């Protein structure tokens, strides 16, 4: 994962980035909501850039910009877990050079609700997001629906200024998981390195009120069953061995299709070892070294 602080280095990275580029702008001090945006960007984009910039122009006169919490090293550790490709962490002088006097304001939307008690706040938000979009040139930009007024301000700005970027509003995990839980009821879940995904779901049980207790078949473990002496059981490596074309990797649909196709190729290989039922497959998977991995 690259980390850079200058616009020149950002442009250098952007020149070589594979499209579509997904962008997640943040002010740092990250939490689970931010990370879910980054994972969504990873699923839908070929290249993912995260920015960390505490924007002074969206702080009011009674709001302490200097006391806003910052922990860059911890933030970078968290971002690495989402498999983002790069992080842009500019200084205030880099984003607002001496003499800068141009601002962007979305009228009407910026002056209601939260805007009435924080005058100038959404002008600061629109200005910095406009500058970042201009610098990054993303095809996709991801924002949480939890900050609904901010999302609507950015959508209006993009529409009015004809910006060539799709703003993706992401629902909260508390909204998504119950729907997904109902969708996959009475199914067997198939995934690659499923322990990582299941651990994430377990951490959200208390806040969402749902528990995923379906049986799971993990292509990582099943690959180790049929090819115990292979050096790599990464999804791309398994696909190559089994003759499965890798298309749309690191997108939600692409990863799902790839894991499914790999699983279908593994089924006859498991059968050749006398593993023909769900119970037999799960039992054999638990005997592999990878079954010891915990997250």
Task: Supply the residues annotated as catalytic.
Answer: 34
- Angstrom CA distances, 244 to 133, 230, 231, 285, stand at 36, 17, 18, 22
Strands 86-88 and 140-144: unpaired
Alpha-carbon distances, residue 198 vs 114, 189, 205 (angstroms): 37, 10, 11
Contacts 24+ apart (CB under 8 A), 63-70: 63/118, 68/27, 68/29, 69/29, 70/28, 70/29
Cα 112 from chain centroid (whole Å): 30
Q: Is 22 exposed, middle or buried (0-12, 13-18, 19+ CB in 10 A)?
A: buried
| Structure-token pair, residue 11 | 């442009």
**Contact call for residues 84 and 37 (beta carbons, < 8 A):** no
| Segment (H or E) for 63 | none
**DSSP character string of 77-123:** HHHHTTT-SEEE---HHHHS-TT-------TTGGGSTHHHHSTTHHH
> CB neighbours (10 Å) of residue 80?
11
Neighbour-count burial for 221-248, b at 16+ CB within 10 Å, e otherwise: bbbbbbbeeeeebebeebbebbebeeee
């Amino acid at each position: 994962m690259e980390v850079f602080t200058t616009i020149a280095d950002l442009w250098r990275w952007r020149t070589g980035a594979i499209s579509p580029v997904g962008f997640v702008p943040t002010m740092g001090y990250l939490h689970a909501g931010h990370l879910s945006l980054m994972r969504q960007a990873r699923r839908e984009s070929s290249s993912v850039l995260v920015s960390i910039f505490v924007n002074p122009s969206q702080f009011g006169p009674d709001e302490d910009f200097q006391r806003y919490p910052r922990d860059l090293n911890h933030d970078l550790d968290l971002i690495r877990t989402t498999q983002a490709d790069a992080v842009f962490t500019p200084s205030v002088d880099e984003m607002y050079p001496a003499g800068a006097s141009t601002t962007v304001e979305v009228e009407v939307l910026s002056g209601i609700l939260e805007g009435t008690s924080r005058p100038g706040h959404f002008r600061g938000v629109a200005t910095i997001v406009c500058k970042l979009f201009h610098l990054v040139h993303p095809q996709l930009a991801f924002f949480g629906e939890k900050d609904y007024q901010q999302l609507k301000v950015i959508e209006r700005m993009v529409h009015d200024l004809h910006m060539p970027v799709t703003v993706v509003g992401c629902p909260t995990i508390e909204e998504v998981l119950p729907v997904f839980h109902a969708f996959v009821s009475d199914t067997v879940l198939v995934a690659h390195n499923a322990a990582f995904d299941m651990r994430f779901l377990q951490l959200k049980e208390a806040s969402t009120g749902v528990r995923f207790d379906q049986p799971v078949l993990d292509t990582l473990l099943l690959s180790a069953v049929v090819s115990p002496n292979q050096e790599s059981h990464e999804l791309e490596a398994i696909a190559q061995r089994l003759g499965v074309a890798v298309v749309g990797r690191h997108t939600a649909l692409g990863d799902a299709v790839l894991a499914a196709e790999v699983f279908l190729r593994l089924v006859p290989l498991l059968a050749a070892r006398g593993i023909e039922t769900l119970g037999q497959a799960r039992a054999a998977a638990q005997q592999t070294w990878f079954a010891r991995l915990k997250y």
